[in-house]
């Protein structure tokens, strides 16, 4: 009988490992909190494929080489080689493995009742940004969310809206495209700080719209170091050194400071709400400055295009491709790799999720 004990122990250990990898384990993890769903709004950093059906826009990622490291190697519309931050968040909460696109025909109401992304690549806080890119503006994303709640039906929809986590990431396209690349807003807003104030005011209004629909738990991302994006370096330093653009990074820093001032004020005026500022600037800049900490060998060029301003339909398999995206900070000239998103998600899960659980 004594000899049988090691075998029993081994069997129990194997069973525990199988349980940890099973859907039942995911259900157990979800039971540790009362967050029934995650909903995302904003731009391409959170878009898992909402632009796929928009034939007029160039801002699409439903083709190779996008998705080369995604399960099954599928180009789902995610602007990366693999998963996005929100995919890792829902997985960490034990809700499901991936956060689907609202416009994914395979994601029915029941699937989206546990979370969906309404984000649209190329969109922004300023409606002009989405109009220029021919994608869904932030206001339309909220309207789509309102429509989902109506299809779910009350009182269930009310409970889902009230307890769910809302992830917002927008503003990068506004600042880079409308002010630095194509200065279409400089006439109305002579300084970038004036334009930033306009953006933050509109963002506050959108958060208020979601609050009025029942939302209470918000994670709001600031701007990344926009002067370190490969496309920014390429357009500003053709043929020269590939350094970050200091004034653009400084503008992003001031925007983030203003956002951090707005969120606590809005939270104080919104009973029951928690608005967490998510700093993506600091970790991304750290990746640029100390790539070896993250296993990166290249932070200035995208894996797709090898330095060319390639993104969306301009990022194709005929362009030069890196062999190991996990060693690259960026997959195309704008969007991070799965490795970068995973590193950001790990920090967010550790530092921000406990505030909502």
Which residues are catalytic, by number? 44, 332, 335
C-alpha distance from residue 120 to each of 78, 105, 189, 277, 304 (Å): 10, 16, 25, 21, 21
* Spatial distance between the Cα atoms of 285 and 297, rounded to a whole number of angstroms: 15
Residue 179 tokens read as 């002010």
The residue with tokens 């029934």 is: 36
SS3 content of the chain, % helix, strand, coil (to 5): 50, 10, 40
Beta carbons of 117 and 78 less than 8 angstroms apart = no
DSSP state of 268: H
Beta-bridge partner residues of 302: 330
Name the residue among 105, 106, 84 with its Cα closest to residue 38: 84
Beta carbons of 66 and 322 less than 8 angstroms apart = no
Name the residue among 246, 249, 242, 269 with its Cα closest to residue 333: 242
* Spatial distance between the Cα atoms of 152 and 145, rounded to a whole number of angstroms: 11
The 3-class secondary structure across 102-151, one letter per residue, is CCCCCCCHHHHCCEEECCCCCCCCCHHHHHHHCCCCHHHHHHHHHHHHHH
Q: List the alpha helices (DSSP H) in 213-245.
A: 230-236
327 three-state secondary structure: helix
């Amino acid at each position: 009988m004594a000899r049988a004990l090691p075998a029993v122990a081994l069997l129990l250990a194997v069973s525990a490992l199988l349980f940890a990898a099973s859907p039942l384990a995911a259900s157990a993890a979800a039971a540790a909190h009362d967050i029934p769903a995650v909903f995302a709004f904003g731009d391409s950093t959170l878009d898992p494929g909402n632009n796929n059906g928009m034939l007029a826009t160039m801002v699409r990622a439903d083709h190779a080489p996008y998705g080369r490291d995604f399960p099954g190697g599928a180009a789902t519309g995610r602007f990366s080689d693999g998963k996005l931050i929100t995919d890792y968040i829902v997985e960490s909460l034990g809700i499901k493995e991936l956060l689907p696109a609202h416009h994914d025909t395979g994601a029915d109401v029941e699937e989206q009742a546990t979370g969906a992304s309404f984000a649209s690549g190329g969109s922004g806080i300023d409606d002009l940004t989405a109009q220029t890119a021919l994608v869904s503006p932030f206001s339309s994303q909220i309207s789509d969310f309102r429509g989902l709640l109506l299809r779910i039906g009350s009182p269930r929809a009310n409970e889902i809206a009230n307890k769910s986590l809302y992830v917002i990431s927008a503003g990068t396209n506004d600042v880079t495209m409308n002010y630095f690349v194509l200065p279409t807003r400089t006439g109305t807003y002579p300084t970038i700080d004036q334009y930033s104030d306009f953006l933050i005011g509109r963002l506050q209004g959108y958060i208020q719209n979601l609050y009025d629909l029942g939302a209470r738990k918000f994670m709001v991302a600031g701007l990344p170091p926009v002067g370190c994006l490969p496309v920014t370096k390429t357009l500003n330093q053709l043929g020269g050194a590939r350094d970050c653009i200091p004034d653009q990074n400084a503008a992003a820093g001031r925007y983030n400071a203003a956002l951090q001032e707005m969120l606590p004020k809005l939270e104080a005026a919104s009973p029951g709400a928690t608005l967490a500022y998510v700093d993506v600037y600091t970790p991304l800049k750290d990746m640029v400055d100390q790539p070896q900490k993250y296993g990166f060998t290249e932070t200035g060029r995208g894996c797709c295009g090898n330095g060319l301003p390639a993104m969306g339909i301009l990022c194709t398999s005929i362009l030069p491709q890196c062999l190991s995206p996990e060693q690259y900070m960026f997959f195309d000239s704008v969007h991070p790799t799965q490795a970068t998103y995973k590193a950001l998600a790990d920090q967010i899960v550790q530092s921000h999720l406990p505030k909502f659980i």
